[in-house]
């Protein structure tokens, strides 16, 4: 990476770090271009150059944290030998991730990020598929071995991640879920939904 590219990456990281701090402190309403420029010291022009728009900042921030979550899931899958342990590990990792990073998780699961992702689905699809590729490959390999139900991979992904995402949204917005109990109970119940 050239020095110019390194400076650009550092600027983008600084913007994203400050944006998450603002979001954590003031919510979506506080996350304005003016607040980001004041907190980061990065000009509005530079923010537009790197992210295209304020929604672009939100999308980049959500993608950054989603990548971290998927990296943790992939690492957990590398530590197990069978499909049951893998499915259970993915569920636990997801729930522990939101517990450890509630502000970033709240942003990742927010309506503005969902709206932006829907509006830019074609643009985001390639990077999203690349990030999900290790999980998809793992699912496919274990399905081929007869360890997972004979369902299309998107259905398997939805059966595994859908309930966890729903619970995450509820915990992040209402806080009325005992997350430790969910970590104990959900992995086995989700495994039953995808076992052969």
pLDDT digits (tens, 9 = 90+) for 32-75: 999 999 999 999 999 999 999 898 899 899 989 999 999 999 99
- Give the mean pLDDT of 144-172: 95
**CA distances to 1, 55, 101, 117, 129 from 157, in Å:** 35, 27, 22, 18, 12
Band the pLDDT of 20: cuts 50, 70, 90: very high
Give the per-residue pLDDT at 95: 98
The total of other beta-carbon atoms located within 10 Å of residue 79's CB is 9
Q: For 80-131, how does the pLDDT look when each residue is reduced to its tens digit (9 = 90+)?
A: 999 999 999 999 999 999 999 999 999 999 888 888 777 776 666 666 677 7
Please tell me the distance from the alpha carbon of residue 42 to that of residue 34, in angstroms, as a whole number.
Answer: 10
The DSSP code for 149 is -
Question: Residue 3: is its pLDDT beyond 90?
Answer: no
- Mean predicted lDDT score pLDDT of the chain: 91
Question: Residue 194: is its pLDDT beyond 70?
Answer: yes
Locus of tokens 């969902």 = 114
What are the DSSP E strand ranges found in 9-142? none
Please tell me the distance from the alpha carbon of residue 192 to that of residue 122, in angstroms, as a whole number.
Answer: 33
Give the per-residue pLDDT at 133: 85
Please tell me the distance from the alpha carbon of residue 85 to that of residue 76, in angstroms, as a whole number.
Answer: 9
Question: Residue 181: is its pLDDT beyond 90?
Answer: yes
Q: Residue 106 in contact with residue 175, Cβ under 8 Å?
A: no
Please tell me the distance from the alpha carbon of residue 69 to that of residue 62, in angstroms, as a whole number.
Answer: 11
């Amino acid at each position: 990476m050239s020095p110019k590219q390194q400076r650009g990456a550092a600027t983008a990281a600084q913007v994203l770090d400050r944006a998450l701090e603002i979001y954590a402190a003031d919510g979506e309403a506080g996350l304005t271009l003016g607040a980001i420029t004041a907190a980061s010291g990065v000009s509005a022009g530079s923010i537009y150059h790197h992210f295209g728009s304020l929604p672009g900042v939100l999308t980049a921030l959500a993608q950054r944290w989603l990548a971290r979550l998927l990296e943790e899931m992939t690492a957990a899958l590398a530590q197990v030998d069978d499909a049951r342990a893998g499915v259970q590990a993915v569920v636990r990792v997801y729930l522990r991730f939101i517990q450890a990073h509630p502000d970033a998780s709240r942003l990742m699961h927010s309506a503005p990020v969902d709206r932006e992702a829907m509006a830019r689905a074609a643009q985001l699809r390639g990077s999203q598929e690349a990030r999900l590729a290790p999980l998809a490959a793992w699912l496919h390999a274990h399905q081929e071995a007869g360890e997972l139900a004979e369902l299309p991979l998107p259905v398997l992904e939805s059966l595994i991640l859908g309930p966890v995402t729903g619970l995450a949204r509820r915990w992040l917005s209402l806080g009325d879920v005992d997350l430790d109990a969910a970590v104990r109970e959900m992995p086995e119940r989700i495994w039953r939904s995808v076992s052969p």
